[in-house]
């Protein structure tokens, strides 16, 4: 490999990037836009859920229960209904997502040590939101129930009531249970996949469309030198984007960063090499910028979004889909990013994902060399 010819090609590609406003827009604007849109737009947490209540008893006990719903950030009281039909109409009309109905004789049953049932009417149009609402409501009721049971035992004596069992849980790695800490590192993988593959998918296709491929073929430069020379500028750009996205994640979105910067950059370099080679292979096969860019987005954005564990847990997918996820390097890069950011995992624990990304880069690199031929056919 002639380093002088490769450097000349890298310089030519750098000049081409500067002169191409579309490439510059992708390089400069897309990472920040995707980080902002995904970081702020995607959230698995639900807060200020619209709540309607109907207290049929109006006692101090029933008000204490309802206060447990409205005194936290998960529920927001929208209506204190006067009757059952008003509450149901509010849920049907979309004013409330959940309606809580406290029955008559509520406090009497509790004072007698008996079970009192509280009804919750939930709009399950969005089943994920409905499941979260049920979980939040169960926590509020369980907390109230524990307080009632403790008061009953103090009043009647410990021998007359069931012993309470308290569970003290400790969450690791994402102590505040913020979905943003789970999502934002995955956005870095999404940005890297789209940027890397999209930009390099235009390299050879651009040469064919502009008629400069004949000049490139007539030079003594080899196929390996073409690949290396054209990918080096995009590799540098991609690493700058990776560092920028990681900095935005840690400083702007305040995602905990507990790992090694060197390991983060190393994992990013492996992943970036694979997606750059994938984009180059697509460009060599398509020979059209439009077709190459569309195919690049299909083969990177959708798998990175749906099959990487970025937003949807892989272990909850059907077995066939889980098997397909092993093909895409975004799965391994997302795992590495979340482990480095949240767990501070070392290189030994990430040897599997790193090896998988290296294998992907080697396989795609071999395929790119076979796809690119210095001929006019």
Q: Which residues pair with 55 in a beta bridge?
A: 102
Check whether residue 140 and residue 218 sit in a common domain: no
Co-location of 194 and 320 in the same domain: yes
Cα torsion 34, 37, 42, 47: sign:
positive
User: 131, 160, 189 — which closes off a domain?
Assistant: 160
Verify that 202 and 306 share a domain, yes or no.
Answer: yes
Among the three residues 103, 127, 160, which one is the final residue of a domain in this structure?
160
- Would residue 166 count as lying in a domain? no
pLDDT in tens, 37-89: 877 777 666 788 999 999 998 888 889 989 988 888 889 999 999 899 999 99
222: in domain: yes
- Sheet of 119-122: strand order equals 75-80, 49-55, 98-102, 119-122
Q: Clarify whether residues 266 and 359 are in a common domain.
A: yes
Do both 106 and 28 map to the same domain? no
Residue 168 inside a domain? The answer is no
Residue 214 has a pLDDT of 62
Does some domain include residue 74?
Answer: yes
Residue 376 within any structural domain of the chain: no
The predicted pLDDT at position 317 comes to 86
Q: What is the pLDDT of residue 44?
A: 65
Q: What digits encode the pLDDT tens for the residues 256-298?
A: 899 899 999 999 999 999 999 998 888 888 777 778 878 888 8
What domain range includes position 265? 3-43+178-371
Per-residue pLDDT at 158: 54
Number of domains forming the structure of the chain: 2
Residue 362 in tokens: 């080697």
DSSP per-residue letters across 340-361? IIII---TTTTHHHHHHHHHHH
pLDDT in tens, the chain (377 residues): 677 777 887 887 788 777 777 767 767 777 878 788 877 777 666 788 999 999 998 888 889 989 988 888 889 999 999 899 999 999 998 899 999 999 888 888 888 778 888 899 999 887 777 888 888 888 888 888 888 877 777 776 655 444 444 556 667 777 766 777 888 888 888 888 888 887 788 777 777 666 666 666 667 677 777 788 888 888 988 898 889 889 988 888 888 899 899 999 999 999 999 999 998 888 888 777 778 878 888 888 888 888 888 777 888 788 899 899 999 999 999 999 999 998 888 899 899 999 999 999 999 999 988 887 655 45
Task: Give the β-pairing of 98-102 and 119-122.
Answer: antiparallel
**Per-residue pLDDT, 100:** 92
Residues 131 and 36 in one domain: no
CATH number for the domain spanning 148: value is: 3.40.1710.10
Same domain, residue pair 201 and 93 = no
What is residue 89's predicted lDDT score, i.e. its pLDDT?
92
Asked if 278 and 195 touch (Cβ cutoff 8 Å), the reply is no
Tell me, yes or no, whether 35 and 117 share the same domain.
no
Amino acid 163: pLDDT: 47
Q: Identify the pLDDT of residue 263.
A: 94
Indicate the burial class of 69 (C-beta count within 10 angstroms; 0-12, 13-18, 19 or more). buried
Are 280 and 227 in contact by the 8 Å Cβ rule? The answer is yes
Distance, in Å, from the CA atom of 221 to the CA atom of 208, rounded to the nearest integer, reads 17
For residue 116, what are the CA distances in angstroms to 108, 139, 310, 324?
A: 9, 16, 42, 49
Q: Has residue 107 been placed in a domain?
A: yes
């Amino acid at each position: 490999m002639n380093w002088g010819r490769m450097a000349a090609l890298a310089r030519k590609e750098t000049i081409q990037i500067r002169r191409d406003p579309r490439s510059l827009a992708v390089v400069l604007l897309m990472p920040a836009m995707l980080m902002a849109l995904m970081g702020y737009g995607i959230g698995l947490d639900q807060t200020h859920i619209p709540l309607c209540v109907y207290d049929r008893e109006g006692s101090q006990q029933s008000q204490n229960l309802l206060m447990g719903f409205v005194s936290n950030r998960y529920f927001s009281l929208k209506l204190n209904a006067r009757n059952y039909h008003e509450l149901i109409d509010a849920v049907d009309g979309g004013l409330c997502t959940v309606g809580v109905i406290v029955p008559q004789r509520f406090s009497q049953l509790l004072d007698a040590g008996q079970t009192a049932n509280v009804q919750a009417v939930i709009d399950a149009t969005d089943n994920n939101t409905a499941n979260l609402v049920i979980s939040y409501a169960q926590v509020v009721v369980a907390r109230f129930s524990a307080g009632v049971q403790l008061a009953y035992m103090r009043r009647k004596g410990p021998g007359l009531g069931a012993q309470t069992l308290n569970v003290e849980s400790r969450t690791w790695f994402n102590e505040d249970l913020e979905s943003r800490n789970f999502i934002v590192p995955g956005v870095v993988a999404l940005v890297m996949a789209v940027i890397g593959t999209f930009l390099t998918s235009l390299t050879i296709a651009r040469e064919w469309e502009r008629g400069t491929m004949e000049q490139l073929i007539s030079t003594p430069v080899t196929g390996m030198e073409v690949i290396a020379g054209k990918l080096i500028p995009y590799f540098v750009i991609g690493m700058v984007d990776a560092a920028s996205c990681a900095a935005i994640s840690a400083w702007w979105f305040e995602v905990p960063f507990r790992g090694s910067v060197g390991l983060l950059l190393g994992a990013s370099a492996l992943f970036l090499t694979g997606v750059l080679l994938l984009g180059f292979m697509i460009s060599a096969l398509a020979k059209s910028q439009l077709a190459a860019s569309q195919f690049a987005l299909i083969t990177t954005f959708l798998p990175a979004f749906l099959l990487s564990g970025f937003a949807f847990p892989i272990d909850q997918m059907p077995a066939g889909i889980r098997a397909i996820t092993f093909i895409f390097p975004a799965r391994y890069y997302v795992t590495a990013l979340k482990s480095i950011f949240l767990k501070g995992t070392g290189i030994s624990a990430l040897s599997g994902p790193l090896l998988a990304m290296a294998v992907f880069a080697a396989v795609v690199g071999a395929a790119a060399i076979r796809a690119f031929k210095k001929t006019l056919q």
